Amino acid sequence: MKTIYILIITVFTQLLCFAQQDSQYTQYMYNTVNINPAYAGSRESLTMFLLHRTQWVGLDGAPVTNNVSAHTPIGDSNFGVGLSFVNDRIGPVDENAISADLAYFIQISENYKLSVGLKGTANLFNLDVNKLNPQDQTDPKFQNLDTKFSPNIGAGVYLFSDKTYVGLSSPNFFETNRYNDNDVTVTKEKMHFYLIAGHVFDLSPSIKFKPALLAKAVDGAPLQADVTANFLIHEKFTIGAAYRWDAAVSGLVGFQITPTLFAGYGYDMETTKLRNYNSGSHEIFLRFEIFSNNRVADPRFF
* Domains by residue range for the chain, with CATH: 1-292 (2.40.160.40)
What's the length of the chain? Answer: 302
Q: How confident is the model at residue 174 (pLDDT cuts 50, 70, 90)?
A: confident
> Is pLDDT at 7 greater than 70 in this prediction?
no
> Is pLDDT at 146 greater than 70 in this prediction?
no
> Is pLDDT at 111 greater than 60 in this prediction?
yes
Closest by CA to 84, choosing from 95, 72, 68, is 68
C-beta separation of 117 from 156 below 8 A: yes
> Is pLDDT at 4 greater than 70 in this prediction?
no
> Is pLDDT at 2 greater than 60 in this prediction?
no
Burial 214-227 (b: 16+ CB within 10 A, else e): bbbebeeeeebbbe
Higher pLDDT pick, 53 / 143: 53
Query: What does the pLDDT read at residue 137?
Result: 60
Stretch 51-76: mean pLDDT, rounded? 93
Max CA pair span of the chain:
70
Q: How confident is the model at residue 125 (pLDDT cuts 50, 70, 90)?
A: confident
Q: What are phi and psi of 188, to 5 degrees?
A: -140, 130
> Is pLDDT at 190 greater than 90 in this prediction?
no
> Is pLDDT at 186 greater than 70 in this prediction?
no
Rounded Cα distance between 38 and 102, Å, is 7
Query: What does the pLDDT read at residue 293?
Result: 60
Residue 146's Cβ-count burial label (10 Å; 0-12, 13-18, 19+) is exposed
Query: What does the pLDDT read at residue 17?
Result: 40
Structure letter (DSSP) for residue 61:
T
What value does the mean pLDDT of the chain take? 84
